[in-house]
């Protein structure tokens, strides 16, 4: 990362324009997160939902990823979930259906068609999720609170669902506008902005815990006292130091890469010779970036979401299944680790396995060994000791698979590490609520931040290229 190049590029008008557009879109997204769904009196509804979100790890997790939209019952409450789900479906179909795979290989035009189908598929998914959200709120969250939400009429249902669906489609469009600027992935940056927006509230909560000295203050070797809560101080210190270590490891893993030397055969045409040079093919340890984590989180939220819908139906036949889905597939509360039940381990283990699977899956999409081998052969390039063509493809595929194995396991361990920390704190009798939620947020923020900086650095090199003489 060349910070001098990045700062020099800020004087370029094109770079300024791109960054200001991205910043403006993010600000617009944060405004949208405070526009309520036209369903009831906003103030009363917000108070009821806040009480529920604060008492549920599943609600707190959805609120984190939506950037506070759940607590506000905002029109962007559904968020990017429909688009992410549609992306997973279309990418799976691309691998399963040969005609779609051929379309994907056609180049930019084929990928545009697939992206258009992904957008179209996102709309019905957004409608279904909007109806489900309102249904859950009506049947479960606001049960018994007649002042917060009266029985909605058919028109009110249509207006609310239309507003939430439009909010999801609008976010999808804003994300693509950001991507077009070439300074980061739009979907990831919107999720990044949503998580960062919760940071002041988190810091305020930590500050209030530190300043709560009802049970005594911190004594330093008996010499003097600091007016902070001793338990909160040591817990905060431990979490901060662990976060710094994890942050360092995450940066190293994200930046790690295997460099393969490419040789180009020397060609003579008339009196001129071409080639005879060496180049490199860098292969990242985690080529998929943060996408596996986002996909795994979105995928794991579906069973708990279905459980909430089944529970809200008040059908005795589905009650046991609904309770099991909610218990198994939500981030476990710290108290869940204190008992002998193994159900608290289902979510972390599923999270770990899904991160590994989605890392393999998405790397297979972004790194096509067959296409790279064909391009190298056409350009007269080869890996030393490896025959061009099929042998090069096998060599690249084998190398990438080995890198993915280590990278995906490392990423999975970092992803579930906060759950291990919650278990340790639970055994010590310390309530470290929502630590796993913060850990997932940290993972997404760091990975997206590094990827965005990398793209900004590439754009900065382009706009400052003429400065190098």
What residue spans define the domains of the chain?
33-180, 212-469
CA distance 185 to 113: 19
Q: Which pLDDT belongs to residue 62?
A: 57
Distance CA(12)–CA(5), nearest Å, equals 11
Distance of CA 194 to the CA centre of its chain: 11
Q: What are 194-224's pLDDT values in tens digits? A: 888 877 777 777 777 777 777 777 777 777 7
User: 198: exposed, middle or buried (C-beta count within 10 Å: 0-12, 13-18, 19+)?
Assistant: buried
pLDDT of the residue at 124 = 92
Do the beta carbons of residue 447 and residue 254 sit within 8 Å? yes
Residue identified by tokens 């309520």 is 36
The answer, as to whether pTM is greater than 0.85, is: no
Specify the pLDDT at position 269: 64
212-469 has CATH 1.10.3370.10 classification: yes
Residue numbers in the chain where pLDDT is lower than 50? 55, 57, 146-147, 334-335, 337-340
pLDDT for 334 equals: 47
**pLDDT (tens digit per residue) in 22-79:** 999 999 988 888 888 776 655 656 665 665 555 454 555 555 555 555 656 778 878 7
């Amino acid at each position: 990362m060349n910070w001098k190049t990045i700062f020099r590029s800020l004087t370029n008008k094109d770079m300024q324009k791109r960054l200001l557009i991205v910043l403006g879109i993010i600000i617009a997204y944060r405004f949208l997160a405070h526009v309520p769904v036209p369903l009831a009196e906003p103030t009363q509804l917000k108070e009821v939902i806040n009480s529920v979100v604060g008492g549920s790890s599943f609600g707190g997790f959805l609120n984190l990823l939506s950037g506070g939209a759940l607590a506000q019952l905002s029109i962007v409450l559904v968020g990017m979930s429909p688009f992410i789900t549609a992306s997973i479906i279309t990418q799976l179909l691309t691998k399963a259906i040969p005609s779609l795979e051929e379309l994907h290989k056609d180049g930019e035009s084929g990928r545009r068609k697939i992206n258009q189908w992904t957008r179209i598929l996102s709309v019905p998914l957004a409608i279904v999720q909007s109806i489900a959200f309102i249904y859950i709120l009506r049947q479960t969250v606001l049960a018994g609170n007649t002042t917060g939400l009266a029985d909605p009429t058919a028109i009110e249902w249509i207006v609310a669902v239309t507003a939430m669906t439009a909010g999801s489609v609008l976010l999808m469009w804003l994300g693509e506008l950001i991507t077009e600027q070439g300074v980061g992935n739009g979907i990831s940056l919107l999720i990044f902005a949503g998580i960062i927006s919760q940071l002041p509230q988190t810091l305020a909560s930590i500050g209030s815990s530190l300043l709560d000295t009802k049970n005594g203050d911190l004594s330093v070797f008996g010499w003097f006292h600091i007016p902070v809560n001793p338990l909160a101080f040591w817990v905060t210190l431990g979490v901060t130091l662990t976060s710094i270590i994890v942050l360092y490891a995450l940066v190293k893993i994200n930046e790690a890469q295997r460099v393969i030397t490419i040789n180009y055969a020397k060609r003579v045409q008339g009196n001129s010779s071409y080639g005879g040079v060496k180049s490199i093919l860098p292969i990242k340890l985690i080529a998929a970036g943060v996408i596996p984590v986002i996909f795994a989180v979105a995928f794991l939220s579906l069973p708990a979401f279905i459980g909430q819908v089944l529970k809200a139906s008040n059908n005795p036949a589905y009650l046991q299944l609904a309770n099991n889905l909610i218990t198994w597939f939500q981030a476990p509360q710290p108290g869940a680790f204190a008992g002998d039940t193994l159900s608290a381990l289902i979510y972390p283990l599923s999270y770990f396995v899904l991160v590994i699977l989605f890392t393999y899956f998405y790397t297979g999409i972004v790194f096509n060994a067959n296409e790279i081998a064909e391009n190298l052969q056409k350009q007269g390039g080869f890996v030393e000791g490896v025959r061009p063509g099929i042998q090069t493809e096998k060599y690249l595929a084998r190398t990438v698979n080995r890198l993915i194995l280590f990278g995906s396991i490392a990423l999975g361990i970092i992803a579930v590490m906060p759950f291990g920390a919650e278990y340790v704190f639970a055994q010590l009798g310390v309530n470290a609520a929502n630590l796993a939620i913060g850990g997932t947020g940290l993972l997404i923020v760091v990975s997206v931040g590094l990827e965005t900086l990398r793209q900004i650095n590439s754009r900065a090199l382009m706009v400052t290229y003429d400065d190098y003489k």
